Amino acid sequence: MTHSEIKGNLDQQTYVKGGVQAFADGNNAKAESNVGRIDGAKVNGDLKQYTNVYGDVYTQAKGNNTYARSDVGTVEDAEIGGKLEQYTNIYGSVNTTADGNDSRAVAELGKIKNFKAGGDVYQNTSVYGDVTTYAKDGATACTAVGLMGESDC
């Protein structure tokens, strides 16, 4: 959901039974996976976001100047009149790999960024598996879990 205005409450529920994968392979390639993303919304009431992935999240950038990104459970650039509740659960492992000069692999899971809320804010992010981040040969790999605000990714 991007750039929407809701006069009442917003309740978003996203379920993925299987994994989430973003692969960029080859020079100047780009791949992006967005699962349970709310971007630029104005909600006069409460916002509740539930994102559940039953499988692994795998993000890989391979080759020169490649970019791969996985966003799972994201609220960004939102204005909420009431309370904000975000629940992100991953029942699997998270693997972020970048291999090649100037390549970037980014996984941000349970992210709330650039927001205003008129009520309480509650964030719960759980990963029931391993989190692995790997970079090689001038590459950058970044994994952020339960992020509120800016990251260095």
Q: How confident is residue 150, by pLDDT bands cut at 50, 70 and 90?
A: confident
The confidence score (pLDDT) of residue 1 equals 61
The confidence score (pLDDT) of residue 2 equals 64
Instruction: Give tens-digit pLDDT for 9-67.
Output: 999 999 999 999 999 999 999 999 999 999 999 999 999 999 999 999 999 999 999 99
**Average pLDDT score, the chain:** 92
Residues 6+ apart with CB under 8 A from 31: 22, 23, 24, 61, 67, 68, 69
Cut 0.85: pTM above it: yes
The confidence score (pLDDT) of residue 32 equals 92
Q: Are 31 and 24 a contacting pair, CB within 8 Å?
A: yes
How confident is the model over 136-146, as a mean pLDDT?
Answer: 91
